[in-house]
Amino acid sequence: MKRTVSIILALCVLTLIFTGCTKKAGTVEYNLKTLSSDLQKSGAFSDILGEIDQKSVSTLYGVASADVSDCVVLCSTGATTEEIGLFKCADADAAARVLKAAKARIDSQKEAYQSYAPAEIPKLGDAIVRQDGVYVFYIVSADTAKAQAVLDKQGK
């Protein structure tokens, strides 16, 4: 009897171990157009955002065009710091470079808005700037929690 219980217990432990190991085996794919649309509809932004062309993205973020295979960038009217920058990079190394550039953009925006519109600085402090595999997200919004919820939903 004790031996049967021990075997069953051991099988349960092995099942849990293997289930835990395979849970996140695949990489997450994001549809950048859908994600940008969902972010805009989320109510996280107080300003109107307009899409900029991919040529301007290289200048705005200071990233090499070879590092970015796809992107969607939407900027505010200029009255706010609100912005969506969604990047699919060529590889993980390229994503690390784009992430560094996105962090530099936060610093640049803080400097620019410090005297222009200091009330916008807290948005930059709460910005979502992160890498997920080959994807980089730069999201400055009026409601970070709403923007994060959209990212979490699509990232599943």
Q: Which domain holds residue 55?
A: 28-154
Does 21 map to a domain? no
pLDDT of residue 27: 72
Does 9 map to a domain? no
Number of folded domains that form the chain: 1
Q: What does R_g of the chain's alpha carbons equal in angstroms?
A: 20
What type of residue sits at position 122?
P
Does 100 map to a domain? yes
pLDDT of residue 28: 84
Does 7 map to a domain? no
pTM above 0.85, yes or no: no
Does 10 map to a domain? no
pLDDT of residue 2: 53
pLDDT of residue 110: 96
Residue 57 and residue 74 in contact, taking contact as beta carbons nearer than 8 Å: no
Using CB atoms within 10 Å of the CB of residue 153, give its burial: 0 to 12 exposed, 13 to 18 middle, 19+ buried. Answer: exposed
**Cα separation, 31 vs 8, whole angstroms:** 43
pLDDT of residue 155: 76
Does 18 map to a domain? no
pLDDT along the chain (156 residues), means of 10: 48 45 61 96 96 89 94 94 97 98 96 93 97 97 97 85
